[in-house]
Amino acid sequence: MDVLVIGGGASGLVSAIISRENNNNVTILEQNEKLGKKLLITGNGRCNFWNKDQDITKYHSSDLDSVQIIYVKKKDEVLKFFDDLGIIYKNINGYYYPFTLQAQTLVDALVKKIEFLKINVKLQEEVIDIKKENNKFIVITKDNVYYADKVIIATGSLAQSSTKGYDLLKKLGHTIKPIVPSLVPLEGVSSYYKIWQGVRSEVNLKLYEDNMLIKEEQGEIQLTNYGVSGICIFNLSGLVTEGLTKNKTEEIKIDFAPWFKESKQEFLKYLENRCQENDFYSLRDILEEFLNKKIVNVIYHILKLNNDVAWSMVNQEKLVELIKEFPFKVKKSADFSKAQVCRGGIFLSEINPNTMESRLVKNLFLTGELLDVDGDCGGYNLGFAWMSALIAGENHD
Ligand SMILES: Cc1cc2nc3c(=O)[nH]c(=O)nc-3n(C[C@H](O)[C@H](O)[C@H](O)COP(=O)(O)OP(=O)(O)OC[C@H]3O[C@@H](n4cnc5c(N)ncnc54)[C@H](O)[C@@H]3O)c2cc1C
């Protein structure tokens, strides 16, 4: 078969390799000047390409049953694929990286395999149209026309990228769940963020939508001059962005003392005891034993406290609330240019998860982030790209 793979990113490269190994004549059309460009910036240039904890709950989609089928079919084959490619990996707390901690190593290995298999690669070929006539696909770029028996669309998303992939699929009859940025920093409504800028702190987070608790996360938060960032924030950001587009209110309550597991009332008593036991310390000294100075600055700014204020003089309930349930009201999430992935995409109900073939157009296959699947931070998004590509590249009757 003549197979065209549109998009030479994560899932395109893997599906091209599998398809060629199944004896097809394969051509990759890539709009960029090189293959795997986005892969190079993944994981801060280190490429977190897999996670040991490949758990379906890390994925988000309007059709998790289909994700489950894809996942069960291929989750045990991903590391074998990379082993065969010659990738030695480093497992850092369950997060897999190439041993060199360089994304380039993984891209080089994929590209070498593509050269070895003599897969045709056409760079700077942006596909602008696809048609199907008499069982043949006609794929059009600005300067050329290609013909194929099978097409794999692996054009990725709008996260730090541009693509006409969604339009191509719309034209072929597919429908798209609205696309919003995910794994992004969040901007807040207040004006004091420049005070806490630069702080990193271990926290527990609770996300409230229209005052209802909808998700909890924990990990290291990064406090910025516009709001909040960091992996735990990224993992809430998809829900936040979806909610904001539906005009819901999104508020994150930040627990800056997650090590104290008991109630707020107990925490108040704990602080009171600390202040009584250490009467040569100011309240500020006590707080700075476990909170970053800049976080204390923000709390003092909000409560309008002097640095030498005594415990007995503060609104103790309010102080405890700001430490254990700091209210961060979200104004907006960052846009696609800051997003690591997109939430939404082509509905999985429109593809057969056993083959990744379109249910609407025969011999058309879809992979990767273009689909309505996104994962948490930690190698899950590349995980889905590889798993879907391993299926789409195979020959199906
Ligand atoms: C900064 C950043 C860091 C990330 N870090 C991680 C991480 O550490 N771990 C993780 O799991 N995920 C990470 N991701 C997400 C991950 O990169 C993507 O989920 C994954 O690359 C999706 O693979 P894909 O094949 O669907 O799309 P891509 O890898 O984006 O490939 C799509 C390709 O198609 C090409 N293309 C698009 N339209 C056309 C067209 N019309 N014609 C021809 N070519 C076209 C694009 O140029 C691109 O090369 C990160 C993303 C970003 C932006």
Mean of the per-residue pLDDT values of the chain: 96
How far apart (Å, rounded) are the C-alpha atoms in residues 283 and 315? Answer: 12
16 phi and psi, to 5 degrees?
Answer: -65, -45
Q: Tell whether the model's pLDDT for residue 280 goes beyond 90.
A: no
Whether 347 shows a pLDDT value over 80: the answer reads yes
pLDDT exceeds cutoff 80 at 397: no
State the pLDDT at residue 311. 93
DSSP 91-135: EETTEEEETTS-HHHHHHHHHHHHHHTT-EEE-S--EEEEEEETT
Residue 224 domain boundaries: 185-334
Answer whether 48 contacts ligand 1 (Cβ < 6 A).
Answer: yes
pLDDT of residue 396: 84
Indicate whether 325 belongs to any domain: yes
Instruction: Look up residue 164 and give its DSSP letter.
Output: S
Find the CATH number of the domain harbouring 131.
3.50.50.60
Residue bearing the bigger pLDDT, 396 or 20: 20
Within a domain: 348: yes
Instruction: Quote the number of domains for the chain.
Output: 2
Separation of CA 7 and ligand 1 centre (Å): 9
Judged by average pLDDT, the poorest of 50-64, 119-133, 378-392 is 50-64
pLDDT digits (tens, 9 = 90+) for 189-223: 999 999 999 999 999 999 999 999 999 999 999 99
Q: Kindly state whether residues 231 and 281 are assigned to the same domain.
A: yes
Strand 89-92: give its sheet, edge to edge: 50-51, 95-98, 89-92
Decide whether any atom of ligand 1 lies within 6 Å of the 353 Cβ. no
Task: Tell me: do 100 and 25 sit in the same domain.
Answer: yes
Q: Is residue 397 part of a domain?
A: no
Whether 351 is covered by a domain: the verdict is yes
User: CB of 238 closer than 6 A to ligand 1?
Assistant: no
Same domain, 146 and 235: no
The reply to whether 32 and 76 lie within a common domain is yes
Nearest CA to ligand 1 atom 45: 7
Summarised one tens digit per residue, pLDDT across range 23-40 is: 999 999 999 999 999 999
Q: Which of 334, 350, 382 is the last residue of a domain?
A: 334
Same domain, 168 and 197: no
Is 266 found in the same domain as 318? yes
Q: Please indicate whether residue 181, judged by its CB atom, sits closer than 6 Å to ligand 1.
A: no
pLDDT of residue 365 exceeding 80, the answer is yes
Of 236, 140, 119, 135, which is closest to residue 184 (Cα–Cα)? 236
Q: Is the CB of 156 under 6 A from ligand 1?
A: yes
Position of tokens 């700077």?
A: 124
Last residue of a domain, one of 311, 334, 357: 334
| For range 362-371, the mean pLDDT | 98
Q: How confident is the model at residue 118 (pLDDT cuts 50, 70, 90)?
A: very high
Task: Give the distance (Å) from ligand 1 centre to CA of residue 25.
Answer: 24
The answer to whether residues 256 and 348 belong to one domain is no
pLDDT confidence bin for 184, thresholds 50/70/90 = very high
Torsion sign (Cα): 340, 343, 344, 349? positive
Same domain for 196 and 51: no
Residue 46: which pLDDT band, with cuts at 50, 70 and 90? very high
Indicate if ligand 1 lies below 6 Å from the C-beta of 41: yes
Domain-located, residue 15 = yes
With a 6 Å cutoff on the Cβ, whether 215 touches ligand 1 is no
- 239-256 pLDDT, tens digit per residue, is 999 999 999 999 999 999
Q: Are residues 347 and 305 in the same domain?
A: no
Give yes or no: residues 202 and 165 share one domain.
no
Q: Are residues 308 and 279 in the same domain?
A: yes
CA 211–ligand 1 middle distance (angstroms): 35
Q: Is the domain of 122 the same as that of 171?
A: yes
Task: Name the more confident of 280 and 312.
Answer: 312
pTM above 0.95, yes or no: no
